[in-house]
Structure 1
Amino acid sequence: MVHFGVESASMTREIVYTPLEKPHFEEVIALGNAVQGDNYLSQASLAEIYQKSWHDGTNASFVALYNNKVAGFRLTYAHSQWQQDEWCTPKAWPVPADRVCYFKCNTVDPSMQGAGIGSQLLNRSVEQAKVQGAQAGLAHIWLASPGNSAFKYFSKNGGQLIKKHPDKWRHASMYEGYDCPVCDGYCSCDGAEMLLVFS
């Protein structure tokens, strides 16, 4: 992970937002694992996410670059590229289930937080998802983030709570090598199923 240590007000004007591409993979993986926990991302998992980001030639995943380094990323599955599981409650969604994209994950380098990067990444993913044909986006928000910042951030951007799911990432910690940064042993963190309906 790169620690930028930049506090200049002009910093936000120098951040470049661009669709995720394969040359970004190494830095995205390093940043994701440093912030979210070991084995959060790998070459294989990110390659799969990247493929699922596309629909009709449009990519819904984005990175934020500062000084040509990845300062943040938003990984998004196109509405046509993912399947609901036991952590989803489509009957409670106010739009057709097949028109919902999936916000897989969002990470910003801690030294760059507060510059609006997360919201800018989300806005760009939403715009591309709309081009792809989505009417809303679903996310499972980590409720153990420091100060519950993830929930507050997604709520601030229009996300509505659908349902809380206990032990959302336990399976990943037991069988996929995920090492939760706040749990000793297997992850027992709750996830919030949240939906952002596009205007």
Structure 2
Amino acid sequence: MSNIKYFPLHEDHYERLLALANSVHGDNYMDLPSLQSYHQAGMVNGINASWVALDGERLVGFRITWAAGHWQPDKWSSPDLWGHPQDKVCYFKCNTVDSTYRAAGIGSQMLKLSIQEAAKQGAKAGLAHIWMQSPGNSAFKYFSKCGGKLVKEHPGKWQENCDNEGYVCPICGTQCDCVAAEMLLTFED
């Protein structure tokens, strides 16, 4: 895995990123208009908080991060429990690594890069909704190991995506009962 190179997300990565996202997370997880808006939400003053991992030309991982102040907490968020002002908390939208490249530190490296850039943008912490039904609950274990702390669990968070966007959960299909763990990672000063 020593051939892995990391790059800020660029529109040249879109097609490969969408293919990986939808193969890992289920059909209609992400489309081009969504990705374009996600990418823009991660940009502040030319600083890009979203990253990709490439093995040669093959895109094997991505981390999409929205800049603090560029996203709106919803009913699945608990700002009163964060200990940081909303405008100082970025949002870790999604992290995906190709199954043949997992457990090689790719996700952790992309998270470190996103944290560095989000901090340059002014963030003091980052929030994520972690998929508790990931294989072996690996997403929760990974984010906890990186310093994330559980804020609150939200059953059924992704059902709205099934109802409104045609999302098909790889575990539940179109009736998603998966639990989202709202987790906060505070950055060191």
TM-score by length of 2: 0.98
- Which digits, 9 at most, give the CA deviation of each residue in 1:138-173, with x for residues without a partner? 000001101000000000000000000010100001
Q: CA deviation at 1:191?
A: 0.4
Aligned to 2:71: 82
| Gap regions ≥5 residues in structure 1 | 1-10
Q: CA deviation at 1:97?
A: 1.5
- Contact kept, 8 Å, 2:69 with 2:86, in 1: the verdict is no
- Which digits, 9 at most, give the CA deviation of each residue in 1:33-85, with x for residues without a partner? 00011111111110010110101110000000101211100000000210111
Matched, 1:18 2:7: yes
Q: CA deviation at 1:185?
A: 3.1
- Contact kept, 8 Å, 2:159 with 2:174, in 1: the verdict is no
Aligned to 1:143: 132
The AA in structure 2 aligned to 1:22 is: E
Q: 2:83 aligns with which of 77, 86, 94?
A: 94
> Matched residue pairs, number?
188
CA distance in 2 between partners of 1:18 and 1:99 (Å): 24
- Contact kept, 8 Å, 1:55 with 1:80, in 2: the verdict is no
CA distance in 1 between partners of 2:165 and 2:58 (Å): 28
- Contact kept, 8 Å, 1:52 with 1:78, in 2: the verdict is yes
Q: 1:52 aligns with which of 41, 60, 70?
A: 41
Task: Give the secondary structure class of the aligned counterpart of 2:118.
Answer: helix
Q: 1:161 aligns with which of 150, 167, 175?
A: 150
Matched, 1:196 2:152: no
Aligned to 1:111: 100
Task: Give the secondary structure class of the aligned counterpart of 2:69.
Answer: coil
CA distance in 2 between partners of 1:145 and 1:114 (Å): 14
Aligned to 1:73: 62
CA distance in 1 between partners of 2:11 and 2:175 (Å): 31
- Contact kept, 8 Å, 1:72 with 1:118, in 2: the verdict is yes
TM-score by length of 1: 0.93
Matched, 1:174 2:129: no
Q: 2:25 aligns with which of 28, 36, 57?
A: 36
- Contact kept, 8 Å, 1:62 with 1:125, in 2: the verdict is yes
CA distance in 2 between partners of 1:184 and 1:27 (Å): 24
The AA in structure 2 aligned to 1:174 is: D
Percent identity, aligned pairs only?
54
Runs of 4+ residues deviating >2 angstroms: none
